[in-house]
Amino acid sequence: MQNNNNGYKTCPGCKKEIDYYETVCIYCGQEFEVEYPDERAAYIQKNVDKYLRKFDKMNAAGSGASWNWCAFLFTFSWMVYRKMYGLAVIVMLAMFAIEFSAGMLSIYADGGTSANLLINVIDIVICIVIGVLGNGWYQTKVNKLVKEGAELPAEEKQQHYKKGGTNVLAVIILALISGALNLLLM
């Protein structure tokens, strides 16, 4: 199937435009094989063009920094959606530790008057950090999976691809957990 050069293809079933790397048509349910341009794509699965372009740009610039709106806006949800669970936990713990220290500092400095402001500023900084570093973290994950996969026999490859891709359920679980925590802490 042709990539209509903008990351889309025309579904042979319903003739609608869908993401080039979609294996099932979201409109009519038709299934088809997808040819990936390289092994990384088989692990990225969604928005392949977007991420490969970002990775190429970062590598050309020799930089781990980039910008990802999704990562900036959805932070931990984006991380678990892209299956970066361990990293999400680490960054979250780091955020709590920094916010806790800032809260303590504020109590010491002005009886806690500035605590809310400080925590809001830290929240925004964390969003920016994830927005800037997210693509780099994701590239590290994808490259690691490609390396692991390269040593596997062909019949185990399909199973291994499932370590890539996205996880909507994890995003829902994260939302439920943070909702429950908010209720408990209120």
CB of 158 to Zn ion, least distance (A): 23
Size of the site for Zn ion (CB under 5 A): 7
Which range binds Zn ion by CB under 5 A, 8-16, 82-90, 108-116, 154-162?
8-16
Question: 32-52 as b/e, with b when 16 or more CB fall inside 10 Å?
Answer: eeeebeebbbbbbbebbbebb
Terminal-to-terminal C-alpha distance of the chain: 53
Stretch that binds Zn ion, among 26-34, 61-69, 78-86, 173-181 (CB under 5 A): 26-34
**Beta strand segments in the chain, E:** 8-10, 17-19
Q: What is the DSSP string of 65-98?
A: ----HHHHHHHHHHHHHTT-HHHHHHHHHHHHHH
CB of 21 to Zn ion, least distance (A): 15
Residue 23 or 59 having the CB closest to Zn ion: 23
Binding flag, residue 20, Zn ion (CB under 5 A) = no
Query: Containing H/E element for 60?
Result: helix 48-61
Q: How far is the CB of 147 from Zn ion (least distance, A)?
A: 35
Question: Please, are residues 99 and 119 in contact by the beta-carbon 8 Å criterion?
Answer: yes
53 half-sphere exposure, CB direction, 13 A CA radius: 9
Question: CB of 143: closest distance to Zn ion in angstroms?
Answer: 33
Binder of Zn ion out of 10, 13, 63, 125 (CB under 5 A): 13
32 binds Zn ion (CB under 5 A): no
Binder among 1, 14, 117, 172 for Zn ion (CB under 5 A): 14
Beta bridge partners of 17: 10
Q: Does 25 bind Zn ion (CB under 5 A)?
A: yes
Task: Using CB under 5 A, list all residues that contact Zn ion.
Answer: 11, 13-14, 25, 27-28, 30
